[in-house]
């Protein structure tokens, strides 16, 4: 039993590390939009407080209308027992004339009452697969390039 629990702990730690490597902000929220998990990008987004924030009602936007829309999407996506996929997309406006965040809300699994909320900042630089592989595995630029080529079915040449 202890070995099984230990293995689950290792797998959970590895999964969290992978989620922290994601460029978009990822929140796992309950049906009331209360945050259960936030990756590093999500924590950084909340720290900036420039459009999305965590309030007493959970994850919210600067305006009541957008907060209500987000809450409705989360409640719909977090509903248990749906036969069809639910969720949706919206934008969250930001101050200082910055482009709005793009927000995707999706059902996490059919067996839980949690939802995934992905917040994409259009001002963020897109990180290539090669850069993500370099960061995750500590590879040199050439090694990551070869890994990407092999992953795409190309012949690796040195």
| Segment 65-101, tens digit of pLDDT | 999 999 999 988 887 555 556 789 999 999 888 899 9
In a domain, 10, yes or no: no
Q: Which residue is it, tokens 């390039």?
A: 145
Same domain, 104 and 53: yes
In a domain, 64, yes or no: yes
pTM above 0.75, yes or no: no
pLDDT reported for residue 92:
94
1-10, 22-31, 109-118: which has the minimum mean pLDDT? 1-10
Same domain, 80 and 115: yes
By C-alpha distance, which of 57, 58, 59, 24 is closest to 42? 24
The parent domain of residue 148 ranges over 127-158
Per-residue tokens: 74: 């989360």
Same domain, 120 and 138: no
Same domain, 134 and 118: no
DSSP state of 80: T
Percent of the chain at pLDDT exceeding 90:
35
């Amino acid at each position: 039993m202890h070995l099984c629990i230990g293995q689950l702990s290792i797998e959970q730690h590895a999964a969290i590390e992978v989620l922290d490597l994601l460029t978009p902000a990822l929140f796992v929220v309950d049906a009331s939009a209360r945050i259960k998990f936030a990756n590093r990008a999500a924590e950084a987004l909340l720290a900036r407080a420039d459009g999305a924030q965590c309030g007493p009602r959970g994850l919210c936007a600067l305006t009541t209308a957008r907060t209500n829309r987000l809450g409705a999407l989360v409640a719909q996506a977090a509903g248990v027992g749906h036969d069809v996929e639910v969720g949706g997309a919206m934008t969250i406006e930001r101050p200082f004339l910055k482009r709005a965040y793009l927000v995707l809300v999706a059902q996490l699994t059919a067996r839980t009452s949690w939802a995934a909320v992905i917040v994409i900042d259009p001002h963020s630089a897109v990180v290539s697969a090669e850069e993500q592989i370099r960061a995750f595995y500590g590879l040199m630029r050439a090694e990551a390039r070869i890994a990407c080529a092999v992953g795409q079915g190309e012949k690796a040449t040195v």
